[in-house]
Amino acid sequence: MLASTTTRYVVVLISLFLLSAATVHAQHDLHRNTVREIARGQYGRAEKNLNRVVENPALLWSSLRGAYARAGETIERKGDRYVEFVLPENFFVQAMLAGSQGDAETALRHARSAVEAGLPFERLLAGPRCALAPLHRSPAFAEWAAEQDRMLIHGPMLGHITSDAASFWVRTAREAEVLIEVVKQGDAAIASGQGQTCAEEDFTAVVRIEGLEPDTEYNYRLAIDGQAIPVEGSSFQTYPAPGTPGQYLVAFGACAGYVAEHERMWETIQQHEPRALLLLGDNVYIDDPKHVMTQHYCYYRRHSQPQWRRLIAGRGVYAIWDDHDFGEDDSFGGPEIDVPSWKRPVWEVFRQNWNNPAYGGGQQQPGCWFDFYLGDVHFIMLDGRYYREEGGRQRKEVENPSMLGPVQLAWLKETLKHSRGTFKILASPVPWAPGTKGGPPGGLDTWDGFTGERDAIYDFLHEQDISGVALLSGDRHRSDARRITRDNGYDLYDLLSAGLTNYHTHPVVSTPGLLFGYNEKNSFALLHFDTQAEDPTLTYEIINIDNESIWSLDLTLSQLTNPK
C-alpha cells in the first residue's frame, strides 16, 4: 500500500507543507494547521491544502532539509521516511474533513486508507468525535469497529504516586466501567479500584488505589466492562515516605511538538527507567485556544503513539503547560478567571488529558500548579500562563506585572515555607535566568518580563532561609544550565531542557551566567538525587535523542545553603 501510494502523495504533502509553513507557530505541523482550518469551518481552504498538486517534488526538501540539519538529523532516505510517517495522518485528516461536512462515505474510505497505511485504529474511535460523528454513525463503520473490539483508547497513564497510593488514567471508546487491580506477587490482587468513564470527561477516568506499601514494586491489571485488557509495561514503584533520604532519578523536558520520527525520544527516556517524568509545557503544540477540535486532535495524536504509551504506563507523569498548549505564541491569560472566555474550556481539556495531583485551585481557581514529594525531594510545579499579565511583550509599559497571580504566588510562598524537602525543585514553563531568550521584546516572555515578582520570590528564599532550591525551566528549544548570582543568598541554578521532539532549535544565548548549552539534537534532562550522601547531591545531566550523555553538572546541598 505504502509503496504504491508514496509517489502519488508526495506532491500532496509538498503542497500541504508549503501552504502551512506561513502559519506554523514554532513547529512545522502541517496536519495540525489543516485541522485548525477544519475547526474554523474553512473547508475549502483545508481541502485545497490536502489536494493541491505541486509539480516540483524537490520543493519539499528545499524546505525541510534545513530543519533536519538544525536538529542534527541525517538526510539520507529521509524523504521516503517522511512520507511513510505522514501518509497515515494525511488520510486521517481527510477523513476528518469529510466527516465535518457530513460525508460519511468519503470519511470511511479515507479512514480505511489511514489504517491500511499504519494508523492505529484507536485514533478513529478517539476522534475528534465532533469531526468524525457521521463516520461513527455509519453502519459500515460500526461493523468494522465491532471486528476490532478496541475498548481502551489511551493510557493507562500513571500519576499522583505517593508512598501508599497511585492514580491510573485511561480513555475508553465509550462510557465504561474501569477496574484496576494491583498485584505484588503471584496472581492475587492486593488492592483494586474502580472508575467510570463518561462523555462529560471526554471518556476518561482516573482510578485511585490506596493502601500500598512505600517504595515497593507492583504490577497491575486493567479491565474495561469486565473484559481484561493487556497493558505493555504494566509495572510501577511507589515512592518512599515523604522525608525519606534516598537515590532518585527523574526525567524532565519540554517542547514536544509532534514529529513522528522523533517519537523515539520516549523510548530513549524509558531506557533510563526514571521514577517520574516532568513535562514543563508545550507538551503538545495546539495554538488554537478557541477550538476544542484542534485541542483534542493534538492530545489524541500524542496519546495514541505506542512509544509514548509504553513510557507513561510505568511511572508518574506530571505536566504543566506553556503558551502553545495554553493559548498561542507568548500568550497571557490575564488576572480574570473566565476572561478571555476560552481559558476555562482550555483548562478542562488539559485536565482531562493529564493525571496530576491537582490543577491549581480546582474549579474555584483553575490553573495547573501543584506540588508532590519523591522521598525527601519536593517538586513544586508552576502555572506561568493562566493568570499572567501583559509583561511588556507587546512593547507596552506595564508596571510590576505578575506571571503567577496573587493566589498562586501566596500558595508558592506557603509551600516553600513549610517544605520538608532536602531539595526543593521549583519548575517553571519559562526560563528564570536573565537573558536566556535574548533582549526585549521577545525576552520579556520569560521571567525577564516579570522581574519584580521574580525578585520577590528570590527575596523570600533569603528571608525565610530556605535552602536546597534548584530551578527548572523549559520553552527554549535546547538544554542549558545557568548560574544566577544574588547579592543576598546563595547562587541559584536554572536547569533548562526544552527540546524533546521539536524540529527546530533555538541558538544558545551567551549570558554571564551560562555554564553550558546544547542544541545539536533533541534532548531531555535527567536529575540524579542522592540525599543519603554526607553532603546531599543533585546532578543535572543532558541526554540526547540517541541516548548520548552530553554534559552534567553536580550541585550539593551546601552550595544551595545560605552562608552562616
Residue 360's identity, in one-letter code, is G
Q: CA 436, CA 452: separation in Å to the nearest integer? A: 17
Nearest C-alpha neighbor of 403 from the set 444, 354, 356, 345: 444
| pLDDT for res 53 | 30
Predicted local distance difference test score (pLDDT) of residue 61: 43
Q: Residue 438: left if φ>0, alpha if ψ -120 to 50, beta else—which one?
A: left
Structure confidence at residue 438 (pLDDT): 87
Contact between 313 and 287 (Cβ < 8 Å)? no
CB 550 within 8 A of CB 538: no
The region, left, alpha or beta by phi > 0 then psi within -120 to 50, assigned to residue 412 is: alpha
pLDDT for the residue numbered 393? 66
**With contact defined as beta carbons under 8 Å apart, do 215 and 242 qualify?**
no
Cell numbers at residue 533, please? 550522601
What pLDDT is recorded for position 200?
98
The domains located in the chain, with CATH, are 2-148 (no CATH), 152-236 (2.60.40.380), 243-556 (3.60.21.70)
The closest alpha carbon to 490, from 458, 517, 521, 518, belongs to: 458
Instruction: Measure CA of the first residue to CA of the last residue in the chain; give whole Å.
Output: 71
- The model's pTM is 0.91
SS3 315: coil
pLDDT in tens, the chain (564 residues): 444 444 444 433 433 443 343 333 345 688 899 999 999 999 999 988 776 433 333 444 444 555 555 544 544 444 455 556 677 888 999 999 999 999 999 999 999 999 998 999 999 999 999 999 999 999 999 999 999 999 999 999 999 999 999 999 999 999 999 999 999 977 788 999 999 999 999 999 999 999 999 999 999 999 999 999 999 889 999 999 999 999 999 999 999 999 988 999 999 999 999 999 999 999 999 999 999 999 999 999 999 999 999 999 999 999 999 999 999 999 999 999 999 999 999 999 999 999 999 999 999 999 999 999 999 999 999 999 999 998 866 666 678 999 999 999 999 999 999 999 999 999 999 999 999 998 887 789 999 999 999 999 999 999 999 999 999 999 999 999 999 999 889 999 999 999 999 988 898 999 999 999 999 999 999 999 999 999 999 999 999 999 999 999 999 999 999 987
Q: What pLDDT shows up at residue 302?
A: 98
**CA pair distance 365, 381, nearest whole angstrom:** 16
Q: How far apart, in Å, are the Cα atoms of 94 and each of 28, 68, 138, 177? A: 19, 26, 17, 33
pLDDT of residue 37: 96
Cell numbers for 98, please give them: 469529510
Place of cell 462529560: 200
> CA angle at residue 45 from 39 to 49, to 5 degrees?
105
Quote the CA–CA distance of 69 and 80 in Å, as a whole number. Answer: 17
